[in-house]
Amino acid sequence: MKKIKMVFVVMVGSVLAWSNLPYHYCNEKAAVYASRHAARGSRSMCAWYVVRAMWRGGCPIGLIPAYAYDKTLPQMGFKEISLDGYQPKIGDISVLPKNEKSHFGHIAIYDGKQWVSDFKQKSIYPGIAYRSVGSYRIYRATNGWHWKHVWTSPADWYSWIESLVKGYKKIKF
């Protein structure tokens, strides 16, 4: 019984410590990391690459399907930017919805010259399938911004798992 109580205390303490860590986000660090670590072509791992860049910038965000960041980023304190007269800034993050070709959607970060995900893109759209759909959202954090810890809803988990299953069926290993 003592071991169970000790494990419980350690777990609760870890969660409380984790949710109060003083992370301060830096757009430039995230963008530079993404640009330096981008592959030559798509590896179908945009979320993994962008999440790693965001971690480097100071935002300990979790890995979920790319399209789902349109809910998670605003909850963490990122501001959605209007597309009317939009001019990209270093560190802006684009989130594209899932479509027939990709059940995961797409996410990329602007490095000051171009959009970068798992590769350096020619435009905000990583390919024809996204260009034809045409919709996307842009999110921005101010430098020095302190992230908000987010507990996601189990209702979201179901759609994420469903997307992962559908998406992985299309990937050839």
**What CATH number has the domain bearing residue 127?**
3.90.1720.10
φ, ψ (nearest 5 deg) of residue 151: -105, 115
Q: How many domains does the chain have?
A: 1
Domain membership of residue 8 (yes or no) is: no
Q: Does the residue 56 lie in any domain?
A: yes
Give residue 42's pLDDT band: very low, low, confident or very high (50, 70, 90): confident
Joined together, the tokens standing for residue 86 give 């939009």
Residue 165 is predicted with a pLDDT of: 66
87 found inside a domain = yes
3-state secondary structure of 3: helix
Out of 12-21, 48-57, 130-139, pick the least confident.
12-21
Q: Is residue 105 part of a domain?
A: yes
Q: What pLDDT score does 135 carry?
A: 85
Task: Say if pTM beats, i.e. exceeds, 0.85.
Answer: no
**Confidence check: pLDDT of 154 > 70:** no
* Alpha carbon distances (Å) from 139 to 42, 161, 172: 22, 24, 32
In a domain, 11, yes or no: no
pLDDT for the residue numbered 160: 59
Name the residue range of residue 135's domain. 21-170
Does 147 map to a domain?
A: yes
Q: What is the pLDDT of residues 119-138, one digit of tens each?
A: 999 988 887 777 777 789 99
Per the domain annotation, does 109 fall within a domain? Answer: yes
| pLDDT of 159 above 70 | no
**In this predicted structure, what is the pLDDT of residue 62?**
82
Flag whether pLDDT at 36 surpasses 60. Answer: yes
- State the DSSP string of 17-70: HHHT---B--HHHHHHHHHHH-BSS--S-HHHHHHHHHHHHT--PPP--GGGHH
pLDDT higher than threshold 90 for residue 10: no
Tokens read off for 130: 């996204």
Residue 102 lies in a domain: yes
CA dist list (Å): 77 to 34, 55, 66, 73, 109? 21, 15, 17, 7, 16
